[in-house]
Amino acid sequence: MDPVSRLRSVGGRLVPPAEAVAQAVAERAVELVVSALDVNALLARVDMDAVLDEIDINELLGRVDVNAVLDHLDIGSLLDRVDLNRLLERVDLNQLMARLDLNRLLANVDITAIVQQVDVNQIVQQVDVDEVLQKVDLDALMARLDMNAIVQRIDIDAVIQHTDLGAIIARSSGGVAGNALDVVRSQTVGLDEFLARWVARLRRRPYTGPPGPSDVHQALEEA
Amino acid sequence: MTAQVGGAAPGSTPVVAQASLQGRYAGFASRFAAFALDEGVITGVFMLVLASASFVASVVTGKPIHWDRSNLWVVLAFLGWQFLYFAYSWGASGKTAGMAVFGVRVVQPDGTYASSRQAVVRTLALPLSFLLLGLGFLGILVGGRRRALHDVIAGTAVVYSWDARAARLRFLSRS
């Protein structure tokens, strides 16, 4: 028998147990070393800034396929976990709004398209107009109105035509002579009608009051 | 106070108060009262002017002068004054002093002011209504448009220019 072959067979039998022993020894040694190590002290010795300076973050990020990462993300469930109220409590909205350039923002917004989508009637039906009006400072509003400009827009002639001037005149103060004149005229008109009624009775015709075409009435009013 | 017109039930608002009466044909009483007042004004003014003229003439001539109705010139002056009074009043404003007091006025059938020509014709035709034994005024009582003979001749009508409803409201506001 070849002596080399014999040695190989002996070696083949001894190697597996030896490897197992070596593995156990190594694990134990590592365990002892790790337990003996003060990781915090070790990290404290590391100059993280220098380490980060050595790393090219952009290149690192360039290697990352963000889309693939996002594809694996369930944004919905992620957002479900977010407590928005708590988040918003930590946000200073005033400061945020102060940073916003609203004019620039609004310049990009198609207000007309938005308004066309709004059902104004439905909104108005939900509005408590009385409550809104109670909040309005009418004095301040009136102070901002240019009454002269408004009055100039009014068609005075049309207003007068629709005004019961008779009632207005009635409220105005009348003198004693005016009162007497009203009495005299009223009495005379009463006499007119008395005579007219009797004449109609003699003629056996119905009497319905003083006659008069409407055109005469209108012409007199216009005059 | 407001006159009550036929058809108004007792206690209800008189018809006169309900309607303004403006533009309605004026009745006999109003027109006669206005005419009587005008005659009073005409006569009064004429007598005053006549007395003044007599006084001035007496002072100027140094003789007492008495003009009365028997004098032809006085009659002519009186007629001329009457013509002037009525024609001018009707032509200028459609109403004399008496008509203004009683709230009536002369208009054309369409309600516009009577023209000067119509005023003159009406004034000249006015005596005709008297000369026919007063029959010329019968149209005021029985006519549909309450026109007297001189109205028909001149093409005019007389309407109320007074707002009875406003008078009623004035009365209510005072009471």
d(CA B107, CA A221): 13
Nearest CB neighbour to A211, from listed B101, B112, B145: B145
Query: What ipTM was estimated for this complex?
Result: 0.78
User: Which chain A residues touch B138 with a CB distance below 8 Å?
Assistant: none
CB contact under 8 A, B103 and A196: no
Query: Does B4 contact A at CB distance below 8 Å?
Result: yes
User: Which chain A residues touch B6 with a CB distance below 8 Å?
Assistant: 193-194, 196-197, 207, 209
Query: Does B145 contact A at CB distance below 8 Å?
Result: yes
What's the whole-number mean pLDDT along residues A4-8? 76
Query: Does A197 contact B at CB distance below 8 Å?
Result: yes
What's the whole-number mean pLDDT along residues B128-150? 88
pLDDT tens sequence across B59-111: 888 887 777 777 888 899 999 999 999 999 999 988 999 999 999 999 987 77
More confident residue, B94 or B9: B94
Shortest Cα distance, chain B CAs vs residue A168, angstroms = 9
pLDDT for residue B43: 93
pLDDT for residue B106: 93
Count Cβ neighbours within 10 Å for each residue of B27-38 and write b for 16 or more, e otherwise: bbbbbbbbbebb
Query: Does B7 contact A at CB distance below 8 Å?
Result: yes
pLDDT for residue B124: 94
Q: What average pLDDT is seen over chain B? A: 82
pLDDT > 50? residue A189 = yes
Label residue A216 by pLDDT band (50, 70, 90): low
